[in-house]
């Protein structure tokens, strides 16, 4: 942080004690850091409610790598859309299952729609689309 402002917060002693206990458990060094994280999370959730907001999507897919043409179809989806695929990571979970993580950049509704198309492919057994709001 280059420049900071300082604000005061009043709260009940019991609430503060519970908050401190949680910070300790999560490994926070100080309350300001934890409160900044809470504020950022709230702002981010709010932002991602807008289908037209810019976002980064992390699509996690578990699939059976014996499925014919699946990798091809996944690549096709990554290239046939207005979305920008930034990067991807491939992990071998066991002799049969792979985890592919695909990082996409675009609008919230585009990411969700492409993510759902990926999950719907034959051979994909589980999938999650995770959104991260654009940075300022």
- What the block records as the tokens of 102 is 């695909």
Q: What is the contact mask toward a copy of itself in residues 78 to 117, using x (rule: CB under 8 A)?
A: --------xxxx-x-xx-xx-x-x-x--------x---xx
Query: Measured on CA atoms in the order 43, 46, 49, 50, is the torsion positive or negative?
Result: negative
Residue 69 as a binder of a copy of itself (CB under 8 A): the answer is no
| Segment 2 to 61, residues that bind a copy of itself, using CB under 8 A | 2-16, 18-19, 22-23, 26-29, 31-44, 46, 49-51, 56, 58, 60
Using the minimum distance from each CB to a copy of itself, give the nearer residue, 78 or 88: 88
- From first CA to last CA, the distance across the chain in angstroms is 13
Report, in Å, the least distance between residue 106 CB and a copy of itself.
13
Query: Measured on CA atoms in the order 35, 103, 88, 98, is the torsion positive or negative?
Result: positive
Using the minimum distance from each CB to a copy of itself, give the nearer residue, 31 or 75: 31
Closest to 56 in 3D by CA, of 32, 86, 35, 80: 86
């Amino acid at each position: 942080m280059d420049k900071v402002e300082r604000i005061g917060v009043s709260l009940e002693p019991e609430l503060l004690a519970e908050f401190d206990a949680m910070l300790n458990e999560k490994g926070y060094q100080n309350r300001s850091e934890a409160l900044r994280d809470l504020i950022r999370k709230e702002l981010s959730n709010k932002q991602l409610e807008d289908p037209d907001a810019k976002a980064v999507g992390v699509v996690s897919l578990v699939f059976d790598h014996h499925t014919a043409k699946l990798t091809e179809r996944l690549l096709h989806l990554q290239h046939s859309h207005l979305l920008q695929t930034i990067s991807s990571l491939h992990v071998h979970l066991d002799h049969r299952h792979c985890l592919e993580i695909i990082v996409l950049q675009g609008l919230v509704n585009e990411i969700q729609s492409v993510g759902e198309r990926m999950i719907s492919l034959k051979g994909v057994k589980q999938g999650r689309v995770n959104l991260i709001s654009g940075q300022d």
